[in-house]
């Protein structure tokens, strides 16, 4: 028996895209048991469109206003997704497929990711790929998410320590192309201030030996100039201390993130080896080498 999957979307002034996004969710070969939308104070017609979609849908919709009001965009977006995932889990979902308000889901997205997680009952997260598509003057965009966020081809054969070292240096998951098993996060679902949800959750999944990397394309990822968080925020080209949050330009932010890894991520480790890797000395060495 397959797990119960909910779709969780976060929206903000998405009137020009959200109808297409919702249509792609409704056209899944494996339908979600519910659709949860957290709206971040839209001032356009987003809510009206969502309400129209909900009225016509046989799948239950839940639309909530974002609880977070912080001005920090990264923290607010992460909080909105945490709110949506927790609500979906409270409504009875076993798995949660995350979505951005301007992307389109491939018809087999839910079925594919659900099968991958059902095959691995202890896994926390699957991170899949997406095809890049452009909008307006960016209409010629080509490539995939993995082109920006590459993952070693031998990921499954890496030790958990090697996976952690890589994940500390690189973003390996894009939220809109990911699926979670919320109940396995054991306290790691809450995202510390200043972290993106997909970045933090991928670290939690790795330290708990539960990250599945999938090369399949499950979404069309819209690249547009007005994105609050997008491909440019990945920081894949950073080296040394820059990976921890711009230590040279924002030392306090870098120290806070280092503290999050030691104080909040380390207690979630399931092995002595991973626990040791998140000690102060090894953390600094991992993040400042290369």
Total domains, the chain: 2
What's the distance, CA 130 to chain centroid?
A: 13
Does residue 284 surpass a pLDDT of 50?
A: yes
Q: Are residues 89 and 175 in the same domain?
A: yes
Can you give the pLDDT at residue 74?
96
Sheet harboring 34-39: ordered strands across? 61-65, 34-39, 5-11, 95-100, 178-180, 125-134, 211-223, 104-105
- Are residues 134 and 42 in contact, defined by beta-carbon separation less than 8 angstroms? no
Can you give the pLDDT at residue 252?
86
Residues in the chain: 290
Can you give the pLDDT at residue 240?
42
Which of 95-99, 220-224, 225-229 has the least mean pLDDT?
225-229
Q: Are residues 167 and 190 in the same domain?
A: yes
Can you give the pLDDT at residue 260?
97
Can you give the pLDDT at residue 248?
46
Within-domain flag for 249: yes
Q: Mean pLDDT, to the nearest integer, of 259-273? A: 96
Within-domain flag for 253: yes
Show the domain range for 195: 5-228
Last residue in a domain, options 208, 228, 248: 228
Q: Mean pLDDT, to the nearest integer, of 11-25? A: 97
**pLDDT, tens digit, 9 for 90 and up, residues 129-175:** 999 998 655 455 679 999 999 999 999 999 999 999 999 999 999 99
Within-domain flag for 188: yes
Can you give the pLDDT at residue 245?
47
Last residue in a domain, options 206, 228, 250: 228
Last residue in a domain, options 190, 208, 228: 228
Q: Are residues 101 and 201 in the same domain?
A: yes
Structure tokens at 18: 């959200």
Q: Mean pLDDT, to the nearest integer, of 223-243? A: 56
Q: Are residues 166 and 250 in the same domain?
A: no
Q: Are residues 69 and 204 in the same domain?
A: yes
Within-domain flag for 28: yes
Q: In sequence order, which residues have a C-beta less than 8 Å from that of residue 279 and are 6 or more positions away?
A: 262, 266
Within-domain flag for 56: yes
Report the percent of the chain where pLDDT is more than 70: 89
- Are residues 130 and 218 in contact, defined by beta-carbon separation less than 8 angstroms? yes
Can you give the pLDDT at residue 227?
55
- Closest listed residue to residue 182, CA positions, set 22, 54, 5, 30: 5
**pLDDT, tens digit, 9 for 90 and up, residues 40-68:** 999 999 999 999 999 999 999 999 999 99
Can you give the pLDDT at residue 138?
46
CA distances from 86 to 38, 92, 98, 111 (A): 11, 10, 12, 21
- Closest listed residue to residue 243, CA positions, set 212, 201, 285: 285
Q: Are residues 113 and 77 in the same domain?
A: yes
Within-domain flag for 172: yes
Q: Report the CATH number that the domain containing residue 170 is assigned in CATH.
A: 3.90.550.10
Q: Are residues 50 and 187 in the same domain?
A: yes
Q: Are residues 277 and 174 in the same domain?
A: no
Report the percent of the chain where pLDDT is more than 90: 82
Residue 224 or residue 52, greater confidence: 52
CB atoms within 10 A of CB 93: 25
Within-domain flag for 9: yes
Q: Are residues 93 and 124 in the same domain?
A: yes
16 exposure class (CB count in 10 Å sphere: 0-12, 13-18, 19+)? middle
Which of 94-103, 114-123, 164-173, 237-246 has the least mean pLDDT?
237-246
Within-domain flag for 233: no
Q: Are residues 78 and 147 in the same domain?
A: yes
Q: Are residues 174 and 211 in the same domain?
A: yes
**pLDDT, tens digit, 9 for 90 and up, residues 234-265:** 544 444 445 444 444 578 888 999 999 999 99
Q: Are residues 102 and 209 in the same domain?
A: yes
User: How high is the mean pLDDT of the chain?
Assistant: 91
CA distances from 252 to 145, 158, 174, 244 (A): 30, 33, 26, 11
Can you give the pLDDT at residue 289?
74
């Amino acid at each position: 028996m397959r797990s119960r999957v909910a779709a969780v979307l976060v929206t903000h002034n998405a009137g020009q895209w959200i109808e297409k996004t919702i249509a792609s969710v409704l056209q899944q070969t494996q339908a979600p048991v519910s659709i949860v939308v957290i709206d971040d104070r839209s001032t356009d017609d987003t809510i009206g469109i969502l309400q129209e979609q909900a009225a016509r849908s046989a799948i239950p919709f839940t639309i909530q206003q974002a609880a977070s009001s912080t001005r920090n965009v990264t923290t607010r977006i992460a909080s909105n997704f945490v709110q949506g995932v927790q609500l979906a889990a409270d409504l009875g979902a076993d798995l949660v497929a995350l979505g951005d308000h301007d992307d389109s889901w491939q018809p087999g997205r839910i079925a594919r990711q659900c099968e991958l997680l059902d095959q691995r009952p202890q896994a926390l997260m699957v991170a899949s790929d997406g095809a890049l598509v452009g909008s307006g003057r960016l209409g010629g965009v080509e490539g995939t998410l993995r082109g920006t966020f590459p993952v070693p081809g031998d990921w499954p054969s890496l030790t958990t320590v090697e996976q952690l070292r890589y994940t500390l240096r690189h973003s390996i998951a894009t939220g809109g192309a990911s699926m979670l098993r919320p109940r396995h996060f054991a306290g790691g679902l809450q995202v510390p201030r200043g972290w993106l949800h997909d970045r933090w959750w991928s670290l939690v999944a790795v330290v708990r030996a539960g990250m599945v990397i999938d090369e399949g394309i499950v979404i069309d990822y819209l690249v547009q100039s007005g994105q609050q968080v997008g491909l440019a925020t990945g920081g894949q080209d950073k080296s040394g201390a820059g990976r921890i949050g711009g230590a040279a330009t924002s030392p306090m932010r870098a120290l806070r993130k280092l503290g999050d890894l030691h104080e909040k991520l380390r207690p979630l480790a399931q092995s002595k080896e991973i626990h040791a890797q998140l000690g102060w000395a090894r953390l600094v060495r991992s993040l400042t080498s290369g």
